[in-house]
Structure 1
Amino acid sequence: MSTSLSASFTDAIGTVHVRSDVSPRIVSLVPSITELLCDLGLAAHIVGRTGFCIHPRQTVQHIAKIGGTKDVNIEKIRQLAPTHLIVNIDENEKPTVDALAEFVPHIVVTHPLQPRDNLALYQLLGAIFNAEAQARQLCDKFEAAYAALPRTATVSRKLVYCIWQDPWMTVGRDTYISAMLALIGWQTWLPDHASQRYPVFRWDEEMAQQIDGVLLSTEPYRFTEMHVDALEKQLGKPVQLVDGEMLSWYGSRAIAGLAYLKELAHQ
């Protein structure tokens, strides 16, 4: 299977980028993008990353940390003299990005909302950083993993996908996570009249009657089997611990994420 790779240079906010004609110096403020850059063969060009950029471990441990995804050390980034900064609409705060744009020449904004948005993401970074061949390979791997998913949902389920505790938080239907789960027929439950993309909710009897079960993600909150046991006793509903990286990380991790979805569908 081969995916056509066009020279796509337009990012998530419509900014048209040019092909890098010098050796780029990249700072990534997005953990999944840092991993993608490495898988595109660009690790040597990454000069800065967040403390949450943990994959691939052996590679990123040699790259300078510049804070978190939101508490960014602007002066440290200035000293690294990057040519490109890669950010995400959900992960990073606009005032921070605006401050960095004052001295970083190229800001690449990402915002995948659907699993297949990964194809455009591979193409974008491959085109900007002269890694078209590697991007094409990732596109082909993604398409193969996507084609291997069950064509029809094995079980239609309405589930609460939990990303945080104290307060309890879930994911909206317009999020990447919900779109991933929808590929196997799993619908995410939302509180009535929820307007945020990541709304706060409370457990109650009415809500418990509306759902088939609960998914506790291993990130960003580190839910464990202890939480699973406690919640199952409280709700009387099935509760399952799921790998948050597999379901929420776009980029090259999404290829393994699709295989993980296939496993979930057949459980």
Structure 2
Amino acid sequence: MTFVDALGREHAPVEPGAARIVSLVPSITELLCDLGLASSLLGRTGFCIHPAEVVRDIPKVGGTKDVNVDKIRRLAPTHLVVNVDENEKPVVDMLASFIPHVIVTHPLAPRDNLALFHLLGGIFGANEQAEALCDAFEREYALLKATPKGPAQVMLYCIWQDPWMTVSRDTYIARMMEEIGWECWSPAGVAGLEAGSRYPVFNWSDAVVRSIDGVLLSTEPYRFTEAHVDALEKQVGKPVRLLDGEMMSWYGSRAVAGLRYLRTLLISGD
């Protein structure tokens, strides 16, 4: 039996404990640890911070983009786990020249996590742990679906400023928003803005402000705070909310808590 990654590549299962893994994706590093595979992790990025008590003992190999290739080569991994959005293809191609197995992930919606659990659990011999995560995910998803939603709203989700950046509708974050009735704002149709990017740059024009019901500021990758919320509300005259960026954007095992977070947003009205 083989398991197919996001690029359609087949991966054979590995004997438990035989894999030597480097993860260049923070949420995947957390997932691998929650699957009981921390002892097989040889390297992680500096942004792989969860679970803190486990990853502190795993060597850092740079960032998600600025990878220390020589350090990874010395670690001699058998498997590399990457993500389409978070890692640069030229870097991944370079690493693939000496790492036998490169597993590419690209979840675009919350329910894609079920396939992700089975993919990594299947390859690395953690099927029972993967099934447990699937069960936990399904329980939280059912609770979320049973929670009444408010009126549909168009929300502009901000991930950066200087320049201001948002997310397209074809992203995991946008699909998380959809689960509670928030339509992700798109620059399509707004004069002077390009709609082709998955992470578009925009400016606070009158046309943009008129087209939205509110603004969502994420705590990552840019560290927006309540001070930004107050300042932006005065600037745009629309409701602005601060959201936990990890809960909205981290797939993998964090998605279970992410669904619970969405439900609290509905229940609290925030």
Q: Using the alignment, how far apart are the partners of 1:154 and 1:205 within structure 2?
A: 26
Q: Does 1:16 align with 2:17?
A: no
Among candidates 87, 91, 107, match of residue 102 of structure 2: 107
SS in 1 for 2:183: strand
Q: Using the alignment, how far apart are the partners of 1:26 and 1:246 within structure 2?
A: 25
SS in 2 for 1:19: coil
For residues 168-179 of structure 1, the aligned pairs below 5 Å read 168-179=164-175
SS in 1 for 2:160: coil
The residue aligned with 1:84 is: 79
Among candidates 43, 63, 69, match of residue 64 of structure 2: 69
SS in 1 for 2:262: helix
- The answer on whether the counterparts of 1:85 and 1:107 sit within 8 Å (CA) in structure 2 is yes
SS in 1 for 2:110: coil
The residue aligned with 1:252 is: 253
Q: Which amino acid in the other structure matches residue 196 of structure 2?
A: S
- The answer on whether the counterparts of 2:21 and 2:79 sit within 8 Å (CA) in structure 1 is yes
Could you list the per-position Cα deviations for residues 119-151 of structure 1 after superposition, in whole angstroms to 9, with x for gaps in the alignment? 000000000000000000000000000000144
Q: Which amino acid in the other structure matches residue 191 of structure 1?
A: P
The residue aligned with 2:241 is: 240
Among candidates 155, 160, 166, match of residue 156 of structure 2: 160
CA shift for structure 1 position 230: 0.4
Where does the alignment leave 5 or more consecutive residues of structure 2 unmatched? 189-193
Note closer, same or farther for the CA distance 1:154–1:186 as it changes in structure 2 (3 Å cut): same
CA shift for structure 1 position 153: 2.7
Could you list the per-position Cα deviations for residues 142-172 of structure 1 after superposition, in whole angstroms to 9, with x for gaps in the alignment? 0000000144532211110000000000000
Q: Which amino acid in the other structure matches residue 160 of structure 2?
A: W
Q: Using the alignment, how far apart are the partners of 1:102 and 1:247 within structure 2?
A: 34
- The answer on whether the counterparts of 2:14 and 2:123 sit within 8 Å (CA) in structure 1 is yes
The residue aligned with 1:34 is: 29
Q: Which amino acid in the other structure matches residue 132 of structure 1?
A: N
The residue aligned with 1:4 is: none
CA shift for structure 1 position 34: 0.1
CA shift for structure 1 position 188: 0.9
CA shift for structure 1 position 237: 0.8
For residues 198-217 of structure 1, the aligned pairs below 5 Å read 198-217=199-218
- The answer on whether the counterparts of 1:8 and 1:120 sit within 8 Å (CA) in structure 2 is no
Q: Using the alignment, how far apart are the partners of 2:126 and 2:211 within structure 1?
A: 47
- The answer on whether the counterparts of 2:158 and 2:166 sit within 8 Å (CA) in structure 1 is yes
CA shift for structure 1 position 8: 6.0
SS in 2 for 1:65: coil
The residue aligned with 2:49 is: 54
Q: Which amino acid in the other structure matches residue 240 of structure 1?
A: R
Among candidates 14, 20, 27, match of residue 25 of structure 1: 20
Among candidates 115, 118, 121, match of residue 120 of structure 1: 115
Q: Which amino acid in the other structure matches residue 20 of structure 1?
A: V
- The answer on whether the counterparts of 2:25 and 2:82 sit within 8 Å (CA) in structure 1 is yes
- The answer on whether the counterparts of 1:8 and 1:123 sit within 8 Å (CA) in structure 2 is no
The residue aligned with 1:3 is: none
Return the TM-score normalized by structure 1: 0.96
Could you list the per-position Cα deviations for residues 94-124 of structure 1 after superposition, in whole angstroms to 9, with x for gaps in the alignment? 1101110111110000000011000000000
Return the TM-score normalized by structure 2: 0.95
Q: Which amino acid in the other structure matches residue 165 of structure 1?
A: Q
Where does the alignment leave 5 or more consecutive residues of structure 1 unmatched? 1-6
Of all paired residues, the percent bearing the same amino acid is 65
Q: Using the alignment, how far apart are the partners of 2:110 and 2:100 within structure 1?
A: 29
Could you list the per-position Cα deviations for residues 73-97 of structure 1 after superposition, in whole angstroms to 9, with x for gaps in the alignment? 0000000010100000000011101
SS in 1 for 2:74: helix
Q: Which amino acid in the other structure matches residue 123 of structure 1?
A: H
- The answer on whether the counterparts of 1:154 and 1:185 sit within 8 Å (CA) in structure 2 is yes
